Amino acid sequence: MVLKKLQKVNTVLFFIFLIIVGLYYGSAFFIPLAFATFFAALIVPVSNFLEKKWNFGRITSSLTSTFILFVGIGLIIYFLFRQLGIFLTDLIERKDEIGNYITFLQEQITESTGLSIYQQEEVLRERLGFFFDLVQSFISNFLAGLTGTLVNFLLVLIYVLLLLINRDKFVKFLMMYVSEEKKEETREIMDRTQKVAHKYLWGRLKVMLLLGVMYAITFYAYGLEHASLLIVFGVIITIIPYIGPLLSGVLPVLFMIIFGGSNLEIISFTIIVLIIQLIESYVAEPLIIGSEVHQSPLFVIIAIIIGGALWGIAGMILFVPIFGILKIIFDTHPDLKPVGFLIGYERPGSGEDMFQKLKKKLKK
């Protein structure tokens, strides 16, 4: 008996090992397919709407939905790079101003500490050299990953189109492996998984849009320079949990400090950005996405680390929702429900009840 259990455990571990190896060496194939799967899940309601309300055919509705996705993502990429170009041009034009500011800081440090400008430069070269190397390496890897993603963008769109056209065929394919007495139960599980996964993905998009609105109101109210770039980048980077929101909040504060602003403005701006971050994390996410798809912070970090190790930046973005969908699948299977419970996260107290009551009040 013990030997059989041990053999079963070894089989599961070996199977997991094969999956990890396959994901690592097959990243060139799996990354575009994973992005396409999530994009298809996001726009499948559009395709369904076109078919039911406007009597579009399957191919026509899929082509239209894919084109809408192409235009949406294309506009975001164009706007991001355009604003980035404006920012770099502005830095070049302010070269003398930035140099004078650095000289002023060095003089202030000399007056406060007695360190000469030469000594400060030595300290900076010695202490910050390694840090800048890391930053340069990160930026290079990020740009390389972004360039690779842009190159594969066409492939992703083709995948999306084919997934939308053949979505019923995939369901029939899975049902062929299910016995007759379990087909109804399996179909219910698939419907529930699809609904909750769709809620997770669309909910994440809604939270990002809400965050963008709050950032836009705050940044433009304070007259923050390059606000458009910071809004778009800040919203997109929040796809990566913990790391993304941190950068999303820190960068605007740094811009406020560097590009001007009184001490009172900087302090008040920092407090408002912090409040926005708290609203996004502790109000918007539970209310819009829902508590049933929450993941444990521990497993979110594990997903980011595993994703980064296997697929780089793309993995850090994709593996969190992949873990979320796995949690949904585990929750629907009696034998795997404990694993879903382990991955999931229940907020302490009666927070879930509070959000449910708030939802009911808003619906009235």
Among the ranges 37-46, 100-109, 155-164, which has the highest mean pLDDT value? 155-164
Q: Would you state the structure tokens that stand for residue 194, as one six-digit string?
A: 């699809």
Q: pLDDT band for 163, please (50, 70, 90 cuts).
A: very high
pLDDT of residue 195: 72
pLDDT of residue 360: 54
DSSP assignment of 106-163 equals HHHHHHHH---HHHHHHHHHHHHHHHHHHHHHHHHHHHHHHHHHHHTHHHHHHHHHHH
Domain boundaries, the chain: 189-348+355-364
pLDDT of residue 137: 61
Q: Would you state the structure tokens that stand for residue 326, as one six-digit string?
A: 């796995």
Residue showing tokens 């979505």: 167
pLDDT of residue 160: 93
| Residue-wise pLDDT tens digits, 306-333 | 988 898 888 888 888 888 778 877 877 7
pLDDT of residue 348: 52
pLDDT > 70? residue 353: no
- The residue-averaged pLDDT of 103-124 equals 68
Percent over 70 (pLDDT), the chain: 76
**How far apart, in whole angstroms, are the C-alpha atoms of residue 6 and residue 18?**
18
pLDDT of residue 273: 92
Q: pLDDT band for 132, please (50, 70, 90 cuts).
A: low
List all residues 6 or more positions away from 260 whose beta carbon is below 8 Å from its beta carbon.
225
Mapped onto helix, strand or coil, the DSSP state of residue 223 is coil
